[in-house]
């Protein structure tokens, strides 16, 4: 197991994606400092799914299952499957979401008996060694139905590389990886990297306090999603894409 994979595996000692919630308004009782950003782009992807017609969805790199946890609420009749290479993450996903199917394994080696209308890979490509991304994408293409959609999010190279990531991305780099495999239909720049975002992050939690006042939390989250979620190529922390097979 390489260094980046070891870091991610060790972080799955606790299902950290479940700390932030929108079940009864926005709250985060522990200070997952990027929790509001995580929920914002997760809900952005879910909003895009609402515009598509589909019966089945495959979530690659599903981790502890938080995305499918939310997708199940919005699309209760869809066939959902999550795959991740971390046994610890899959065990957490199964424990928290017993009504959803999860498989531990490598998508390039697992033989699935069907294709899917939607494939999602939310914050996944950065965890794959550069030399393996092309073959990974080829595997996704083989599992996508005709007229199906691939939805991915990746960190932008506007932000510094962190220790568990192999690389961050820009559109030319993604276009090169997708060449001959997928046609990009939509590009969205998300999560502004700006002073206001840093201020919100500090207001939500710092070394002196963690904000727990529900009304204030909701005001900050609503302000963020209305004003700082949609970015441009120069200040985005994240890129979201919708693509189809060629």
Domain boundaries along the sequence of the chain: 3-24+38-191+232-245, 194-230
Dist CA 234 CA 141 (whole Å)? 30
Using a pLDDT cut of 70, give the percent of the chain over it: 95
Cβ atoms of 246 and 181 closer than 8 Å: yes
Q: pLDDT category, 20, cuts 50, 70, 90? A: confident
Q: Which of 110, 111, 90 is nearest to 101 (CA)?
A: 90
Lowest mean pLDDT among 9-18, 37-46, 186-195: 9-18
Three-class SS state of 245: strand
pLDDT at 216: 96
Cβ atoms of 139 and 107 closer than 8 Å: yes
pLDDT at 118: 99
Using a pLDDT cut of 90, give the percent of the chain over it: 80
CATH fold of the domain at 3-24+38-191+232-245: Rossmann fold (3.40.50)
Whether 164 has a pLDDT exceeding 70, the answer reads yes
The predicted model gives 39-49 an average pLDDT of 98
The rounded radius of gyration (Å) of the Cα atoms in the chain is 18
Cβ atoms of 184 and 241 closer than 8 Å: yes
Cβ atoms of 72 and 100 closer than 8 Å: yes
């Amino acid at each position: 197991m390489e260094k980046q994979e070891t870091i991610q595996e060790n972080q799955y000692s606790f299902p950290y994606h479940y700390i932030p919630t929108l079940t009864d308004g926005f709250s985060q009782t522990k200070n997952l400092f990027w929790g509001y950003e995580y929920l914002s782009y997760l809900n952005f992807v879910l909003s895009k799914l609402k515009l598509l017609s589909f019966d089945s969805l495959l979530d690659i790199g599903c981790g502890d299952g938080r995305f499918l946890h939310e997708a199940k609420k919005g699309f209760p009749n869809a066939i959902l499957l999550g795959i991740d290479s971390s046994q610890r993450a899959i065990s957490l996903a199964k424990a928290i979401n017993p009504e959803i199917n999860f498989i531990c394994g490598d998508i390039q080696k697992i033989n699935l008996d069907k294709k899917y209308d939607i494939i999602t890979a939310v914050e996944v490509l950065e965890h794959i060694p550069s030399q393996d991304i092309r073959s990974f994408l080829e595997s996704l293409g083989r599992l996508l139905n005709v007229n199906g959609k691939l939805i991915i999010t990746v960190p932008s190279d506007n932000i510094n590389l962190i220790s568990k990531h192999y690389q961050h991305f820009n559109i030319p780099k993604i276009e090169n990886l997708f060449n001959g495999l997928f046609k990009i239909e939509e590009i969205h720049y998300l999560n502004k990297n700006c002073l206001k975002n840093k201020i919100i992050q500090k207001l939500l939690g710092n070394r002196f306090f963690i904000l727990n006042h529900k009304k204030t939390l909701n005001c900050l989250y609503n302000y963020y999603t209305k004003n700082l979620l949609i970015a441009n190529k120069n200040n985005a922390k994240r890129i979201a894409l919708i693509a189809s097979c060629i």
